[in-house]
């Protein structure tokens, strides 16, 4: 009985210590994709292009909003003196312009989303390449994107965003000097 207990104790000791020795060190990191877009040179260029392209569309939408506002004010002021037929016509005109504005806003949002994807796709490709490089060179087990992974808390020491931005800006700068 005593030999069985000793054997069991040695067996358990070896089992647990072997598992500890064989355990791999897990190294984790994360980055913030939106922060990279906002702070990197390539991201800033893409956002500036999008802003410039969308400015005329925004102005057109704002002009439509202003026109609808003026029509509503006119309707409010003149409603008591207009005939039922004029009221109906003016009301339908306002409703029609509001629906058209809503459609224009939806179209502008779709266009903006499509253009963002087109302009930021090269940035995303480079970010993935840099993340893979950092992961391999740094011995990371996993690197997460903050919002996609749903990370609620992580110490700043695991944040790789600044490192990714530095490498991205270096690549961008070297490409500009080549041109």
24-178 belongs to which CATH class?
alpha beta
Using CA atoms, how far apart are residues 171 and 43, in angstroms rounded to an integer?
Answer: 13
Dihedrals phi, psi of 142, to nearest 5 degrees: -150, 145
Give tens-digit pLDDT for 21-72: 445 678 889 899 999 999 999 899 988 999 999 999 999 999 999 999 999 9
pLDDT digits (tens, 9 = 90+) for 80-126: 999 999 999 999 999 999 999 999 999 999 999 999 889 889 899 99
d(CA 68, CA 130): 49
The structural domains of the chain, with segments of one domain joined by +, span: 24-178
DSSP assignment letter at 82: S
Q: What is the pLDDT of residues 122-168, one digit of tens each?
A: 899 999 999 999 999 999 988 989 887 677 788 888 899 999 999 99
Whose tokens are 């994709």? That residue is 33
Phi-psi region of 150 (alpha: psi -120 to 50; beta: other; left: phi over 0): left
């Amino acid at each position: 009985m005593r030999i069985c207990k000793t054997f069991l104790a040695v067996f358990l000791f070896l089992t647990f210590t072997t598992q500890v020795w064989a355990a791999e060190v897990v190294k984790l990191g994360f980055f913030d994709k939106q922060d990279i877009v906002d702070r990197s040179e390539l991201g800033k260029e893409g956002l500036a292009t999008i802003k410039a392209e969308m400015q005329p569309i925004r102005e057109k939408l704002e002009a439509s909003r202003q026109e609808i506002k003026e029509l509503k004010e006119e309707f409010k002021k003149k409603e008591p003196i207009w005939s039922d037929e004029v009221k109906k016509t003016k009301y339908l005109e306002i409703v029609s312009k509001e629906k058209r504005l809503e459609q224009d806003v939806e179209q502008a949002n779709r266009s903006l989303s499509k253009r963002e994807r087109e302009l930021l796709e090269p940035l995303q490709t480079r970010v993935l390449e840099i993340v893979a490089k950092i992961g391999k060179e740094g011995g990371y087990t996993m690197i997460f994107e903050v919002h996609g992974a749903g990370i609620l808390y992580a110490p700043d020491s695991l944040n790789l965003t600044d490192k990714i931005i530095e490498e991205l800006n270096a690549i961008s700068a070297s490409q500009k000097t080549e041109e």
